[in-house]
Amino acid sequence: MGLLQTLFVSLATSSPWLMSFITSGCVPNRENTIMVFYGRVVDQNKAPVVGADVLVNVDRRPAIQVPLYWWEGNALQDYQFHTRTDKDGNYTVRGLGVSMNLSASAAGYYGSPGDTYYYTDYFPPPAYVPQVGHPVVWTLWKLSGPQPLIEGGDHIQFPADGKPHGVDLLHGRKAPEGAPADFWITMPEPKADAWYKPYSWSYEIKAADGGVVETNEQYPFIAPGDGYVNDYKRDFKDVDPKKSSGSVRKVYYLKCHDGKIYARLDIDWMPGGNPPAVSVSYVANPAGSRNLEPGLERRPGQ
């Protein structure tokens, strides 16, 4: 409690008139409501995750609301508890408050999906309405046994100069110009009449004896066996700088050297940067396996 509030409470307790003035404005807080949430946790194959731990954080208003904007008693009073999924991966949560934040996790699985749900119009509407028989479904990735991976997480950077820049996955470095590499990235300098006008940009990823495929999977841990394109190109026209952040993150699977190496590439394309550039991080499996599950990563050269 702040100094001003402490002084006010001291005066109020010694003055019946002032205390009467305060308590006459106190009203039951009607923002709290009975909240119910129906959820289900499954793995990447839609099988139920039995015994998953669900952490619940409840935000609740105090029972009595004091009509003074600076009074701390009006603040949210949160509490938390745990529950577990049943044999079908289902669970039900009940609480009294204005909102609930939930997240799920389980031993032997990767991920901790969750979200916040608001049950009162005190927050931006619409309020969340649970539906019996239609649980909110979250997915965890069931680990099959991670393999030793090489993690190049230093964000190897290249300029947008229109030249092919190679990457050596096993050593985590840029390949010298003209030297062998596992893949090459090319990004020409974006074209625009002025910095505030729409611009166009493009990029190209080329694999050594393999290919590239873009992905938006929640858990990009198993590289596909086919569908790769050796020379992957994308073009973007008339990008409005007022509506774009100037940076785009994309995730790709890479197959190179006839399947001797599989990798996941996390690439930040920065056509609106000053200067425009590309940043690359990755995990690679040098054993020829498509398994890219986290757990046993090591730095290049180790």
Does a structural domain hold residue 2? no
Q: Are residues 88 and 179 in the same domain?
A: no
Predicted local confidence at residue 298, as pLDDT: 62
Q: Do 50 and 109 contact (CB within 8 A), yes or no? A: no
Predicted local confidence at residue 138, as pLDDT: 97
Q: Are residues 213 and 136 in the same domain?
A: no
pLDDT band at residue 73 using 50, 70 and 90 as cut-offs: very low
Does a structural domain hold residue 177? yes
For residue 84, the cross-strand partners are: 53
Say how far apart CA 207 and CA 230 lie, in whole Å.
6
Q: Which of 18, 85, 100, 12 is nearest to 52 (CA)?
A: 85
Q: Are residues 216 and 163 in the same domain?
A: yes
Does a structural domain hold residue 21? no
Domain C-terminal end among 142, 161, 185: 142
Say how far apart CA 115 and CA 57 lie, in whole Å.
11
Q: Are residues 154 and 294 in the same domain?
A: yes
Say how far apart CA 256 and CA 183 lie, in whole Å.
8
Q: Are residues 99 and 219 in the same domain?
A: no
Q: Are residues 114 and 194 in the same domain?
A: no
Domain with residue 81: its CATH number is 2.60.40.1120
What is the pTM for the complete model shown? 0.80
Q: Are residues 125 and 227 in the same domain?
A: no
Number of domain units in the chain: 2
Domain that holds residue 110: 26-142
Q: Are residues 160 and 262 in the same domain?
A: yes
Domain C-terminal end among 99, 126, 142: 142
Domain C-terminal end among 110, 142, 174: 142
Q: Are residues 176 and 135 in the same domain?
A: no
Q: List, for residues 100-110, the tens digit of each pLDDT value.
A: 999 999 999 99
Question: Is pLDDT larger for residue 177 or for residue 83?
Answer: 83
Does a structural domain hold residue 69? yes
Does a structural domain hold residue 9? no
Does a structural domain hold residue 6? no
**Dihedral over Cα of 8, 9, 10, 13: its sign:** positive
Predicted local confidence at residue 130, as pLDDT: 94
